[in-house]
């Protein structure tokens, strides 16, 4: 696969399944003339130019003891929040659930295996949200709006993106009885075999980490505009560039919690 990827125009192979074998196959393709020296030099020069633009030709080593503080400074955190906010993709909002109304009470059901606490805690800063475990969904009042968070572990590209059958059943049952805001904290491909027709609102947040969850909660509370588009074809109903805009909205905030 590495040799084929290089032939196709990729300059860097990410997540190679076998680096040593990949290197050998690329070299063999070069030796056979299937990959020209010009093609190799093209990629090498692009990589070197990128390093030059980033100033790595005058690289100064950083003290590893301070690396965490340097990478997580206020400026970098603001940039991360902005990037995640720009990526948020609203697939549908048929019952106009968004932005959330701080005068209402919402119910939140976390699904799948990854952490969700940051999302809930940030959401509760601007809206009244009551958490219910999957086993407790029957106790949610009739007609109440339910936020379903699908929190997938995407710490590596090899983690499965699919939604479990148990979670699909919960989403279907809730959608039959409640207005549901389905929030995918993971790959948009999670929607590939998920029936979202009965779901009122669907939002894709792409990753499940603190920055993504904070940006999502802020957008749901109306603090930022949602305007992202799907970067890939998910299925016939969800082509690339799918996405609708939800403008930020002025709203009365809940009193600060002490």
pLDDT in tens, 28-56: 999 999 989 998 999 999 999 999 998 88
| pLDDT at 92 exceeding the cut of 90 | yes
Q: Is the dihedral of CA 34, 37, 42, 45 positive or negative?
A: positive
Q: What is the mean pLDDT of residues 105-131?
A: 96
Average pLDDT, the chain: 92
pLDDT of residue 15: 77
Matching residue, tokens 């029957």: 138
Residue 86 near residue 225, CB atoms below 8 Å: no
| pLDDT at 213 exceeding the cut of 90 | yes
Q: Residue 107: how many CB atoms within 10 A of its CB?
A: 22
Confidence at 256, pLDDT banded by 50, 70, 90: low
**DSSP designation for 91:** E
Matching residue, tokens 């070197």: 48
pLDDT of residue 210: 94
Residue 96 near residue 134, CB atoms below 8 Å: no
pLDDT of residue 60: 82
């Amino acid at each position: 696969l590495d040799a084929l990827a290089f032939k196709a125009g990729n300059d860097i192979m990410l997540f190679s399944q076998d680096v040593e074998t990949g290197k050998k196959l690329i070299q063999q393709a070069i030796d056979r003339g299937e990959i020209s020296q010009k093609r190799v030099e093209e990629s090498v020069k692009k990589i070197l130019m990128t390093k030059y633009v980033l100033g790595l030709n005058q690289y100064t080593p950083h003290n590893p003891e301070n690396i965490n503080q340097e990478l997580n400074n206020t400026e970098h955190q603001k940039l991360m929040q902005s990037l995640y906010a720009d990526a948020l993709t609203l697939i549908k909002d048929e019952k106009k659930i968004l932005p959330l109304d701080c005068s209402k009470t919402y119910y939140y059901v976390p699904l799948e295996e990854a952490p969700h606490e940051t999302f809930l805690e940030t959401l509760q800063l601007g809206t009244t949200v009551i958490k219910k475990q999957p086993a407790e969904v029957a106790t949610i009042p009739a007609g109440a709006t339910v936020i379903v968070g699908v929190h997938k572990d995407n710490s590596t590209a090899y983690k499965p993106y699919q939604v479990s059958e148990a979670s699909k059943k919960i989403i279907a049952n809730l959608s039959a009885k409640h207005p549901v805001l389905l929030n995918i904290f993971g790959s948009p491909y999670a929607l590939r075999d998920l029936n979202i027709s009965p779901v009122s609102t669907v939002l894709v947040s792409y990753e499940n980490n603190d920055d993504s969850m904070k940006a999502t909660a802020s957008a749901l509370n109306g603090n930022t505009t949602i305007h992202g588009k799907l970067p890939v074809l998910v299925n016939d109903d969800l082509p690339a560039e799918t996405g609708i805009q939800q403008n930020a909205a002025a709203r009365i905030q809940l009193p600060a919690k002490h």
